[in-house]
Amino acid sequence: MARLVVIYRNPKDGAAFDKHYFGTHVPLAKKIPGLRKYVVSQGPVATPAGPSEFHLVATLHFDDMMAIQKAFASAVGQAAAADVQTFTTDPPQLLLFDNREV
């Protein structure tokens, strides 16, 4: 039930971002060991007041925090992290946490 949430700010070229993200980054990141589910925002990321400064929110599901740590340490995880730098100028916000339903 652990999550890695990756929040990308609006890029200069949204179409180029999406092309790389869905064409290259997702296929690569889906190979990360321990990844159980990979969910991305579809359409605008909004706030209650209107548009946000964010382009995309990705939520990667793992069994637990240890699995996320292992994923970061893996060769594929490091390749995915390196790939992010090829299509962003502004590094995304990454948040890692365990999750529980209330």
Measured distance CA(37)–CA(48) in Å, rounded: 27
Q: Which two tokens stand for residue 18?
A: 């999406």
Q: Determine if 102 is a binding residue for a second copy (CB under 8 A).
A: yes
Return phi, psi of residue 55, to 5°: -95, -40
How many amino acids of this chain bind a second copy (CB under 8 A)?
34
Site string for a second copy, 20-49 (x = CB under 8 A): --x---x---x------xxxxxxxxxxxx-
Asked if residues 71 and 63 have their Cβ atoms less than 8 Å apart, the reply is: no
**Would you tell me which residues interact with a second copy (CB under 8 A)?**
3, 5, 7, 22, 26, 30, 37-48, 52, 54, 57, 59, 65, 72, 93-102
